[in-house]
A = this chain, B = another copy of it.
C-alpha cells in the first residue's frame, strides 16, 4: 500500500493527508518578513542568553516591528482606566476612578448586549462606536461629512485591508485582478495578494526625492501591468511604512486624479495619521482631499481608508482594534461586505472599546483631559526626537544614506554592501541584505528587517528599523549599527 510506510520503530505509518506538496499552493507563496527568519533567530538568541550562553552582547534589541509598548512606551492612562471599568464594572463604584472615565465606560457598556464586553457586537461594529468614529473623521477633516453607516470596525487594520482586497479579486489569466502597491511596501500587502492569488503590481517610490510618489511611475507601472492583468486598485500607505515619508496635499490630489482617470479603487492605509514629525509636513487624509476636489471626484472615486489602535501615540497593538471608512462603495457590494464580515461574527469588543476612546478622548474641561494631553504629547515628542536622531546618526556613517523620517515609525536607509559580501551571500543562497542583517544580529544582538522583505530597486539594499526603542537604547543601537557597518565594510573590502 503506497499510502503506508514503516517508521524507524517498526510501527506502520500512514502517509500524511496534508503535506507540503499537497497543501494550498497560494499559502506557500505567502511571505512575511516582519516576522520572518531573522525574528525567529532573534528569539532563539534571547533564549540562549537567558540560559546563560555567552554572546558578544548582553541583550537582543528588537527594532523589527512597530510594537511600541514592547519597547517601553506607556499606555494612555485614561484608555486603560476605561478598559478596566468595562472589564469589571464593579469598579464603577470605586471613587479613585475619574468621572469622565466612568461615564465613558458606562456609555460603552450600554451599547453592549447585556451591558457586557463578553457579548458579540454587530458584525460591522458597535453602533455608538461607529458614530463616534464618524464624528472624529468629520472633525479631523474640517467638516467633511461622514456617515456612520460607512464605518466598519475591524480586527486591526490588517483585517480590513485583507477583507477589501478579497472583495476586489476575480478573473483568471490576463483578466486576473491586479493590485498596485508601493515598493518598498508593508509585506501584509504582498502576503494577502499571494494568498488571494491576485497579481501584485509594483510601483516604485522615489528614494532620491524622499520616498515620494511620482505619477509618471504610477502610469508606467499601470501601463505595463495592463499587458497581463486587470489592474483594479491602488494602495497607498501614508505616512509611509517602511519608508517614513509624508505625502504632500498636491501629491494626494494627483493620485486621486490618476485613480479617477484610470478607474482604480483607492485603498489608503492611514494608520500613522498622528505620526508626523518633520517640519512643514502635515497629514492630509485622502477623504478630505477627495471632497475638496468637488463632486466630479467626491461622488465617484471609490475609496477606503484604514485606521487602527496599534500605532500613533497609543500603540495598542495587542488589542487588535481598527476601523475602515468606505466612500462611494456600490450599495450591492456593501451588502456583500456586511455579509462577509458577519461570518467572523465581530471584531474583538475590547479593541472596539479602545477604538472608541481613541476617536473620543477626554475633552477640555473633563477631569482626565490635562493628563491625556500630557501623555500624548510626551509620546509624540519622544518619537519626533528619535526620528531626527535616527536620521542624523545613520547619515554620519559612510555607506549608509537615510532619508528624513518625516512620519510613521521607521527609517529605511540605503546601505552599501561591498561586492565581496554580495558574492558570499549569493554563494550561500542568501539575499545580501539578509546576510547583512543576520550578521548584525549575531554580532550585536540588534534585530532589523532586511529591505528585501519590503521590496527595493534591484541592486539597492536597505534595512527597516523602528525608531521605537527608548532614547538611551536607541543611541546604543545606532552606535552599534554604525560600528558594525564600518567593520563589515572593512572586512569585505
Nearest B residue to A16, CB-CB: B330
> A84 at interface (Cβ–Cβ under 8 A)?
yes
A360 within 8 A of B: no
Which stretch, A237-245, A275-283, A345-353, touches the partner chain B?
A: A345-353
Residues of B within 8 A of A120 (CB): 65, 67, 70, 317-318
**Interface residue from B71, B167, B314 paired with A114 (Cβ < 8 Å):** B71
Residue of B nearest to A20 (CB): B332
Contact of A300 with B by CB under 8 A: yes
0/1 per residue, A69-111, Cβ < 8 Å to B?
1111101000011011101100100100000000000000000
A158 B16 Cβ-Cβ under 8 A: no
Q: How far apart are the CA atoms of A344 and B32 in the complex, in Å?
A: 10
Query: Is A328 an interface residue when CB atoms closer than 8 A count as contact?
Result: yes
Cross-chain contact of A11 among B12, B27, B296, B350 (Cβ < 8 A)? B296
Report if A150 contacts B (CB, 8 A): no
Q: Is A121's CB within 8 Å of the partner chain B?
A: yes
A156 within 8 A of B: yes
Tell me how many chains of this kind the complex includes: 2
Residue from A319, A339, A347, A348 with most neighbouring chain B CB atoms (10 Å): A348
Does A27 contact B316, Cβ atoms closer than 8 Å? no
B70 touches A333 (CB 8 A): no
> Measured between C-beta atoms, what is the minimum distance from A172 to chain B in Å?
11
Chain B residue contacts of A158, Cβ below 8 A: 343-345
Report the nearest B residue to A332, measured CB to CB: B20
- List, in ascending order, chain B residues with CB within 8 A of A215's CB: none
Check if A430 is an interface residue, CB within 8 A of chain B.
no
How far, in Å, is A190 (CB) from chain B's closest CB? 10
Residues of B within 8 A of A84 (CB): 84-85, 87-88, 91
Q: B118 touching A18 by the CB < 8 A rule?
A: no
In the complex, A250 has a CB within 8 A of chain B:
no
In Å, the complex CA distance between A351 and B318 comes to: 10
With both chains docked as a complex, state the minimum distance between the C-beta of A87 and any C-beta of chain B, in angstroms. Answer: 4
Which residues from chain A sit less than 8 Å from chain B, CB to CB?
Answer: 3, 7, 11-20, 22-25, 27-28, 30-32, 35, 43, 65, 67-73, 75, 80-81, 83-85, 87-88, 91, 94, 112-114, 116-123, 155-156, 158-159, 166-170, 188, 191-192, 195, 232-233, 260, 263-265, 295-296, 299-302, 314-320, 328-330, 332-333, 336, 339-340, 342-351
Q: Can you give 10 A-B contacts (C-beta < 8 A)?
A: A16-B328, A18-B302, A27-B166, A27-B336, A80-B88, A81-B88, A83-B87, A118-B316, A155-B155, A191-B343
